[in-house]
Amino acid sequence: MSQDTLAYEDALRIVLAARTRLPAQACPTTACLGRVLAEPLVSKVDLPPFDNSAMDGFALRGDAVVPAGAERDVEGEQAAGDGIAHARHGAWEIMTGARLPDGLDRVIPVEQTERLSSSRIRLLADVTPGQNVRHAGSDVRRGQTVLAAGTTLAPQHLMLLASLGLGDVSVIERPRVAVLCTGRELVDDPAQTLSPGQIRNSNGPFLAARLPLAGADVVHVETVGDDAVAFEAALRRALDAGAQLIISSGAVSMGRYDFVPQALEHIGAETLFHKVAIRPGKPLLCARLPGNALLFGLPGNPIAVAVGLRFFVEPALRVMLGLPQEMPRRVPLFNAYSKKPRLRFHLKSRLRIDGEGRLAIEVLGGQESYRIQPLADANAWAVVPADIDALAAGSLVDVYGPGHLEFPLPCESPI
């Protein structure tokens, strides 16, 4: 490994130190799916807000136990949505979710009663205090912290927010990211017939689709040819769009048309590192642009782009979103694996489960950086450190999900 090639851990420390948490903003709860809470959420109300019936039946009061065989007059009826009612004596017919009339403390299911007349019932089972009653605050108490800062809001969280009557919450601003794809061989229009030597641009659609799943807003996407002047102009357009991170693909290696390092030097950018001891994606470049935006120059091969996004850009996004550094899961390796020494490998993999419920991670075939089909078959990344060159089946390896906010469910087919 050459002296100017950084270990992954050293490069990652540089990336993390180059970003800080973004400020908070108010967000309507109807639009906060996928947003990250900026502060702990404390309930101002009890949930449920009142004692209510867990089922259709009859609400009663009595001593420790109202025995089977007891008879009660039916005094009234309470349906869901009815307001405060005051019981005097006897039983109240009550529907699921209805507020318990004041003075009553238990509910017997309708099927455990016998109608003696339109206004009188007999109990067919004992009924104890609190039976079949959902008590006020039994789910959430007023003053209770219900969600921690750093929670990424999912649909179940929105259900909770709605039940607490919250119209907006404080969330971290979404990082603004631009995507620049370089290469005169790239064709964006799927309807365009390819000329000899041309290829479809797959990196742009991939990045534009995956970045929102990582918590970012994509503010600019552009494809430019192998021209430093055009690349500099595209950088300016990305910055004018408000980009805080810029991801470029291609033109960062050592070839004749790899102009990105020179273009960055020309605009006064500070190169933080160029070349990392990883595979795929060794020529990866990171630079701080004038104005403090960060640029990640990723190699052009599609899997190098996927690795650069997952293991460099997404850690930077976590800092900006106020999230702690991501920790991998440790999972047994299904198949033995060997690699070249001195490089950290990021492997397209599949988390699997056998017939006895045991997890394992399978390293897929086709690990070359140009091969996209295995990435489509993968549901996880397995990472083998630089200082390890061979692993036996059953060895524990670090496993990451497709994105930093996602962890895969194991596939259903048994190993």
> Quick check: 415 pLDDT over 50?
no
CATH topology of domain 24-47+138-172: Molybdopterin biosynthesis moea protein, domain 2 (3.90.105)
- pLDDT averaged over the chain? 95
Give one DSSP letter per residue of 302-338, joined into a string: HHHHHHHIIIIIHHHHHHHTTPPPP--EEEEBSS-EE
Q: Residues near 157 by Cβ (< 8 Å), separated by ≥ 6?
A: 147, 151
Segments of the chain assigned to CATH 2.40.340.10: 329-400
> Quick check: 43 pLDDT over 90?
yes
Rounded distance, CA 91 to CA 53, Å? 13
Segments of the chain assigned to CATH 2.170.190.11: 52-134
Segments of the chain assigned to CATH 3.40.980.10: 8-22+174-320
Domain 52-134: give its CATH code.
2.170.190.11
CATH topology of domain 8-22+174-320: Molybdenum Cofactor Biosythetic Enzyme; Chain A (3.40.980)
Q: Which amino acid is at 351?
A: L
Segments of the chain assigned to CATH 3.90.105.10: 24-47+138-172
> Quick check: 413 pLDDT over 70?
no
Sign of CA dihedral 378, 379, 384, 389: negative
Taking only the tens place, the pLDDT of each residue in 348-363 is 999 998 778 889 999 9
> Quick check: 1 pLDDT over 60?
no
Q: Residues near 200 by Cβ (< 8 Å), separated by ≥ 6?
A: 186, 187, 190, 194
Average pLDDT over residues 297-310: 97
What was the pLDDT predicted at 51? 98
* Of 280, 352, 268, 287, nearest in space to 309 by CA: 280
> Quick check: 316 pLDDT over 60?
yes
What was the pLDDT predicted at 412? 57
Rounded distance, CA 174 to CA 24, Å? 9
What is the distance of C-alpha 229 from the center of its chain?
Answer: 38
The encoded tokens of residue 230 equal: 């055009």
pLDDT confidence band for 34 (50 / 70 / 90): very high
What was the pLDDT predicted at 185? 93
CATH topology of domain 329-400: Beta-clip (2.40.340)
Q: How many CB atoms lie within 10 A of CB 51?
A: 20
Average pLDDT over residues 31-44: 97
State the Cα angle at 168 between 166 and 169, rounded to 5°. Answer: 100
Taking only the tens place, the pLDDT of each residue in 222-278 is 999 988 999 999 999 999 999 999 999 999 987 666 899 989 999 999 999 999 999
